[in-house]
Amino acid sequence: GRKFVVGGNWKMNGTKAQINEILGFLKAGPLNADTEVVIGVPAIYLDYVKSNAPANVEVAAQNAYKAEKGAFTGETSPLMLKDIGVNWVILGHSERRQIFGESDELIAEKVAFALSNGLKVIACIGETLDERDAGKTEEVVFRQTQAIANQIKDWSNVVLAYEPVWAIGTGKTATPQQAQEVHQSLRQWISKNISPEVANAVRIQYGGSVTGANAKELGSQADIDGFLVGGASLKPEFVSIVNARQ
Ligand code: 13P
């Protein structure tokens, strides 16, 4: 079976005081030992959180560039993440795509570069409301996944996060059936276009208005292997989302 993996994407939130509260409820847990927990932390706090997070919680950056070092003002290198003991990075979040103009190709290059430097990657995909309304959900999700497949061969350190853009921060969660439908057809597409082995092993998280109240039913779907949680990852209810699948 695929190990359940729950990510908390803090986005551009947190002060040291707020972070200490979050670390407090993560330490108190208890967190299901069968679930992998990864928190996505703003770059400036990564070192602090890495030093203060409980051992059963892994730490992710929310972005990383596709070069080792050099004249890339404002960027973070995968080598810098490794240097401070951070082993995960979230790439291709819809906010990176939409607000910062990151293309499928750039994201795929970042995924490949991060993997080649020993990071594990949560790679985000998902359609906008217009794309869903136009019946293009699968086309978009497959295109975004194909871009990554063009750049990497080994998927063992990749988690896919399916995050329909219309469900992010809106309180409009995909129904468990809507989410399962996309996860299942994505897994079938991976089986056909990458390999049955990758399709069987790769974990696909759902993200978009996940809460303590809806996590259990979403998490019981056959092809949902975890969550990527935004707003609720800043609150104690994150613990119950981590423990949604017991
Ligand atoms: P919300 O859980 O706040 O909808 O955010 C989801 C998300 O974008 C996680 O990456």
Which atom of ligand 1 is nearest the CA belonging to 168? Answer: 4
Q: Is the CB of 169 under 6 A from ligand 1?
A: yes
Distance from C-alpha of 230 to C-alpha of 234, rounded to nearest angstrom: 8
> Does pLDDT of 152 surpass 80?
yes
Confidence band of 124 (pLDDT split at 50, 70, 90): very high
Name 124's bridge partners: 161
- The set of catalytic residues is 93, 163
Is the pTM value of this prediction over 0.95?
A: yes
The ipTM, to two decimals, is 0.99
Question: How far, in whole angstroms, is CA 191 from its chain's centroid?
Answer: 21
Confidence band of 246 (pLDDT split at 50, 70, 90): confident
Closest CA to 2 of 182, 141, 197: 197
Write the pLDDT tens digit of every residue in 65-118: 999 999 999 999 999 999 999 999 999 999 999 999 999 999 999 999 999 999
Average pLDDT, the chain: 98
Write the pLDDT tens digit of every residue in 196-231: 999 999 999 999 999 999 999 999 999 999 999 999
CA dist list (Å): 241 to 56, 114, 172, 219, 234: 15, 27, 17, 9, 12
Which atom of ligand 1 is nearest the CA belonging to 171? Answer: 4
Q: Is the CB of 203 under 6 A from ligand 1?
A: no
